[in-house]
Amino acid sequence: MVEAEKKIHLIITRQKDAKSDSYTEEFMVPYRPNMNIISALMEIQKNPVNTKGEKTAPVIWESVCLEEVCGACSMVINGKPHQACSSLIDQLEQPIRVAPLATFPVMRDLLVDRTRMFDALKKVKAWVPIDGTYDLGPGPRMPEKTRQWAYELSKCMTCGCCLEACPNVNEKSDFIGPAPLSQVRLFNAHPTGAMHKDDRLAAIMGEGGITSCGNSQNCVEVCPKGIPLTTSIAHLNRQTTIQSFKDFFGSY
């Protein structure tokens, strides 16, 4: 007797375009050991037929590195925001529910527009300024202790999971969210990046800045890189308080 082919049951939240209503569509795809959500989606792409036996449009998603570094394939998998590439089928309860991140506008199916987060990084100047592209020689050294925690913060891949988990990041709020705040701490600690320290603090002391954080601590729970986001936010709370005193007394 031939053993029935093992299948993966997926329930996918879909949307035709940015303006359409969402709906769910179910798929059964052939199982192979060590599959992840991306490989299951690729099976649908190969044979886009739903469980009703209807031919349908292939599911659209975004992915680049496939090794949990780019952050592009973040989606909500069985209710939790995570990268599709590092979500292994064998570790997920079936049926597997896959939906787009709800914090960002959906462009189509599982593809979302994360511009909000990239704009926030621009707002806080999340970079180290350089004077031209010629060889400037070695930069100033960072104390080893600082380098160690800064390295942890530098692992942020702008995946958006922390914004998704934060109740204060939504379409009615302009809160920039945990990831851009943590980048302020990172770049302010850099010996050259510190040139823009005051600008960064000013950016997060304004509208949509650090005071919009409700301290729910959800962000730190979902970050796939284990970035100590709440420690960064607590640190920045102290920094912005000091800065506001400086601004106040400096104006006299």
Closest separation in Å from C-beta 142 to ligand SF4: 21
Nearer to ligand SF4, 177 or 193 (CB): 177
Closest separation in Å from C-beta 159 to ligand SF4: 4
The single residue listed with the structure tokens 């005051």 is 198
Nearer to ligand SF4, 8 or 75 (CB): 75
d(C-alpha 59, C-alpha 100), whole Å: 11
Q: Where are the alpha helices (DSSP H) in the chain?
A: 37-46, 115-123, 144-153, 161-165, 178-189, 197-205, 218-222, 229-250
117, 126 in Cβ contact below 8 A? no
Closest separation in Å from C-beta 176 to ligand SF4: 12
Nearer to ligand SF4, 184 or 229 (CB): 229
Nearer to ligand SF4, 218 or 243 (CB): 218
DSSP 216-252: --HHHHH-TT---HHHHHHHHHHHHHHHHHHHHHHT-
Provide the binding-site residues for ligand SF4, judged by CB under 6 A: 71, 156-162, 178-179, 182, 223-225, 227, 229
Closest separation in Å from C-beta 6 to ligand SF4: 32
Closest separation in Å from C-beta 166 to ligand SF4: 9
Which of these, 115, 88, 74, 102, lies nearest to 15 by C-alpha position?
A: 102
Nearer to ligand SF4, 96 or 157 (CB): 157
